[in-house]
Chains A and B, each alone.
Chain A
Amino acid sequence: MKLNFKLGGALAAALLLGTALGGAVSAQTLTMGVRAGPDSIDPHWSTLGSQAETLRHVFDTLVMADENLNMKPGLATSWKPVDDTTWEFKIREGVKFHDGSELTAEDVKFSIDRIPVVTGPMSMTIYTKQVKETKVVDKYTLHVITKVAAPTLPNDFIRLFVVSKSVGMDARNEQFNSGKAAIGTGPYKFVSWEPKGDFVVERFDGYWGEKQPWAKVIRKEIPNDPARMAALKSGQVDLVNYVPATDYASMQKDKSVDTFVADSVYFFDLYPNQKETLPKPVKVDGKEITANPLRDPRVREAMDLAIDRKTLVRVVLEGLGRPANQLMPTHFFGGSKNLPERAYDVAKSKKLLADAGYPNGFEIDFFCTNNRLPGDGAMCEALSQMWARAGLKVNANALNGTVFFPAQQKGEFPMWMSGWGTLTGEASYTYGSLVHTADPSTGLGAFNKQGYSNPEVDKLLQEGSRTMDDTKRRALFEKATEISMNDRALIPMVQLQTVWAAKKGALTIPARVDQETLAYEIKPKS
């Protein structure tokens, strides 16, 4: 650890000197200023997004995802179901690990078996929970046997990193962080890292894929937004991710930087608590009532109609977002193209409230985070003002995530707003967790804390999760999406966009919907 620190520091500094004093992008070294990094170099330790994003440089996954989260071959060249509970993966031939050994199906099996043994509190077992056992058929063929029919297994394996069997079952974070066990098949070899510090890798010449333009890549973790932007402007880094909306506005006038905008998988959704009784009763004309008005679909529709999504995007997000009518992008597997755009109609909203028996509205507490996604706190305030126009008194409370999440889990909120990202690119991940009735025995509806329950939706989702045929499954999920969204099981508000910035004319950065910043997809402009 100490040796590692010294080496990394010295190397990073030597390289930094080159870029900082040189002032221009060197064709050989790419220095990225990123908001967050990994928690470990062990790719099986955590499901954290910035962990996967970082370790993709060193380790490859069995299945890969393009910039729109469509699956593409990774270390597996093809996959197909042999029967309802068996998937066959063909492993790519001629792939070399960084230590020179060859990749075989044994390494993939080892990686799957290793996950439950080593994974931490952000448990990677969510990607292998469908697996019953793995069988090596021959050197390049692997059979994965699932507990029940698992049509989404290949989606899960977008996060299945493959490590070399030679590291052994005993290797833990320390061995990976020191570089001893950090042996992957990826485009870059691990050089050094320390928690919250720089992550340094160098080109692996034996890589099976495209030859890399960068001899060395440095990921500098700079969580503070102004500091990260300053690092770009002072030439200390070649590019930055997560440009804040305010900086984006000024950067468009700045001739020294290029900006890249992408739609993201992250959506802000509103969760109206639909349980029998609310954890804190609403007040009508100053008096608490026992009934929960949010159980009435008319009330939920009224709240929806009072939201002016275009204004939210323009004012709160400075234009970096899109109005949403469902919980994930429409082009994802199971997204619906039939749903209409959500209307903004205060008069109708008032009428619906009156019809439901609340002509003078009611008073309710509303919660959100203030430090997790761009604009979350401001969004909360803006919403409560919009509802005021429809005659509702909504007390907005923006909380730190460390306070918000445990309370949300305990069911302490009558109504809340939260972000959600569909990272696997398909509907069962999102709708299975957020709108299916909460059912600990099947593991479905784990985050359905708002208490929505519709047997029809449950049936569609369960049937979908067992249907191996893609077309049929897609239709089932589309139906579930449409019903739950029309029911306003939760109310989608806006889809966020992400911005990267780089020195003018230096780089091309692909607009990835999962917001990942991957050196091997970033090319120098020649």
Chain B
Amino acid sequence: MIGFLIQRVLQALMVIVAMSVLVFLGVYAIGNPIDVMIDPASDQALREALIHRYGLDRPLIEQYFVFMNNMLHGDFGESFIYRLPVIGLIWSRFPATLELALTAMMIATCLGIPLGLWAGYKPDSWSAKAIMTFSVLGFSVPTFWVGLLLIMTFAVELGWLPSGGRGPVSNVFGLKLSIGSLEGWSYIILPAFNLALFKLGLLIRLTRAGTIEVMSSDYVRFARAQGLSEGKVVGLHVLKNISIPIVTVFGLELGSTLAFAVVTETVFNWPGMGKLIIDSITVLDRPVMVAYLILVVFLFVLINLVVDLVYGQLDPRIRVKAAS
């Protein structure tokens, strides 16, 4: 177990170093951030002075090592644009993205798995076909378009829900979340549903495929022969056996939702991390871009670690292998 953890941490470090080099090179290749930010009324002397002040005239390798050295001391630097510590800036956006991602994953899971089970359990029924049609829509229709459609329907035409932004926040487990109040929910429900659609389609199809396969296996036949109720057969034996791919996809999707909910956050004006990174990219705010991407790598490594641990719980065979 310990060996496994150490191996994972080492892997993570390597990925982080590789990532930081790539991002640094990439941003360097795009060009000088000062040229994007500078006011058109500036003269040449001011431009030179600014480039010098932000250390952009130094060789790339030196800039990189200064950055890495600071990072190893826990200092990710300050944003060019806001002159605020990057970590504080990202952290202040984190609760908004976290609750949006979790709500979306909850919607996707709570709807997707039961619907997928049903579609796999009765694959020939018309309801199963309807579910499958819906799932295709879920990942083929572009997110921004569905988002706008939701806004037009529920906010503009019906006027039931706000068109965007985040509701009042309250303190939930030490985080500033908006899901603590009913009004907060009125703000989160549309973006969360929009974000959930793709994952919903994916989970339905994944669950259905697994269910169809498992339903024809011997142990289901034996369980039925044993006289177990259908509920127990499906809920206990089938669900447990199809859960490995579902957990894998759930983990990956959670990670990508947290890191890249950009489109939904933009359409619904949700003040999350995705919007921060996009805004930073358009102005080449290098400290924010690099720090953010490094944090994302860290996040993915963490989620994958949790997923691996959950496998062990779900499937004793994996536990045995890891131990040996």
Q: Which residues of A contact B (CB under 8 A)?
A: 1-2, 5-6, 9-10, 13-14, 16-17, 20, 23, 39-40, 45, 47, 120-123, 125-126, 129, 172-174, 177, 194-198, 220-224, 226-227, 230-231, 233-236, 371, 400-403, 405-410, 420, 423-424, 429, 433, 438, 440, 443-444, 446-447
- Closest chain B residue to A194, Cβ basis: B92
Taking CB atoms, residues of chain B closer than 8 Å to A14 are 168
- Listed stretches B16-24, B34-42, B133-141, B295-303; interface member: B34-42
Using a CB-CB cutoff of 8 Å, which residues 27-47 of chain B contact chain A?
30-47
Taking CB atoms, residues of chain B closer than 8 Å to A16 are 162, 165
CB within 8 Å for A121 and B162 given contacts A126-B42, A447-B40: no
* Interface flag for B71 (CB, 8 Å): no
Identify which of B37, B40, B92 contacts A2 (C-beta below 8 A): B92
The answer to whether A433 touches B165 (Cβ under 8 A) is: no
Identify which of B31, B40, B176, B276 contacts A9 (C-beta below 8 A): B176
Taking CB atoms, residues of chain B closer than 8 Å to A444 are 43
Identify which of B36, B43, B80, B167 contacts A120 (C-beta below 8 A): B80
The answer to whether A126 touches B41 (Cβ under 8 A) is: yes
* Interface flag for B271 (CB, 8 Å): yes
Taking CB atoms, residues of chain B closer than 8 Å to A17 are 183
CB within 8 Å for A433 and B41 given contacts A9-B176, A402-B283: yes
- Min CB gap B75→A, angstroms: 16
Taking CB atoms, residues of chain B closer than 8 Å to A234 are 151, 155-156, 159, 162-163
- Min CB gap B41→A, angstroms: 5
8 contacts between A and B (CB under 8 A): A5-B169, A10-B169, A20-B162, A123-B46, A223-B279, A409-B32, A440-B43, A446-B42
- Listed stretches B81-89, B118-126, B242-250; interface member: B81-89
- Listed stretches B229-237, B252-260, B261-269, B316-324; interface member: B261-269
CB within 8 Å for A236 and B164 given contacts A123-B39, A407-B31: yes
The answer to whether B44 touches A440 (Cβ under 8 A) is: yes
The answer to whether B35 touches A195 (Cβ under 8 A) is: no
Taking CB atoms, residues of chain B closer than 8 Å to A45 are 83
The interface size of chain B toward A, counting residues with CB under 8 Å, comes to 58
Taking CB atoms, residues of chain A closer than 8 Å to B44 are 438, 440, 443, 446
CB within 8 Å for A420 and B162 given contacts A39-B81, A196-B276, A197-B271: no
The answer to whether B34 touches A121 (Cβ under 8 A) is: yes
The answer to whether A236 touches B162 (Cβ under 8 A) is: yes
CB within 8 Å for A401 and B155 given contacts A126-B42, A236-B165: no
* Interface flag for B282 (CB, 8 Å): yes
Using a CB-CB cutoff of 8 Å, which residues 271-320 of chain B contact chain A?
271, 275-276, 279, 281-284
Bound together, the chains give a CA A423 to CA B42 distance in angstroms of: 13
Taking CB atoms, residues of chain A closer than 8 Å to B162 are 16, 20, 234, 236
- Min CB gap A30→B, angstroms: 16
Known: A6-B169, A220-B165. 14 other contacts (CB 8 A): A6-B176, A9-B166, A20-B162, A45-B83, A121-B38, A126-B43, A194-B271, A196-B276, A220-B269, A405-B31, A406-B30, A408-B35, A429-B41, A446-B43
Taking CB atoms, residues of chain A closer than 8 Å to B60 are none
CB within 8 Å for A443 and B43 given contacts A227-B269, A231-B164: yes
Taking CB atoms, residues of chain B closer than 8 Å to A39 are 81-82
The answer to whether A230 touches B152 (Cβ under 8 A) is: yes
- Min CB gap A504→B, angstroms: 15
Bound together, the chains give a CA A126 to CA B40 distance in angstroms of: 10
Taking CB atoms, residues of chain B closer than 8 Å to A401 are 36, 282
The answer to whether B82 touches A40 (Cβ under 8 A) is: yes
Query: Which of A39, A40, A174: most chain B CB closer than 10 A?
Result: A39
